[in-house]
Amino acid sequence: MNTLTICYFTNRPDPKIRWFFDSLHRETGGDYTGIKVVVVDFFASERQWVIGIPITHVAPKPTVWQGPHRLTKQDYFAASNARNTAICHAPDGWIAFVDDLSVLLPGWLNAVREAMREGYIVLGAYKKMKKLVVENGSVVSYEDFPGGVDSRWNLGRDNRPVTAAGSWLFGCSLAAPVSALVAIGGFPEICDGLGMEDCTAGMMLQNCDYTFKYDRRMLTYESEEDHAQLPVFLREDPCIGDPDSRPRNDMSHAALRIFQGAKYHPGYFNDGGIAALRQHVLAGGEFPIQQHPVHRWFDGIELSKLPL
Q: What is the pTM of this model?
A: 0.96
- C-alpha 104/C-alpha 134 separation (Å) is 11
Residue 303 maps to a domain:
no
Is the pLDDT at 114 greater than 60? The verdict is yes
Model pLDDT for residues 122-167, shown as the tens digit of each residue: 999 999 999 999 999 999 999 999 999 999 999 999 999 999 999 9
- Within a domain: 153: yes
Q: At what angle do helices 197-207 and 79-88 cross, to 10 degrees?
A: 60
The predicted structure's pLDDT at residue 17: 96
Question: Residue 261: which domain range?
Answer: 3-297
Whether residue 304 lies inside any domain: the answer is no
132 domain residue, yes or no:
yes
Q: How many domains does the chain have?
A: 1
* 15 located within any domain: yes
Confidence bin at 1 (pLDDT 50/70/90): low
239 lies in a domain? yes
Bin 127: left if φ > 0, else alpha if -120 < ψ < 50, else beta: beta
CATH code of the domain in which 255 resides: 3.90.550.10
Residue 308 belongs to some domain of the structure? no
In a domain, 237, yes or no: yes
pLDDT for 121: 98
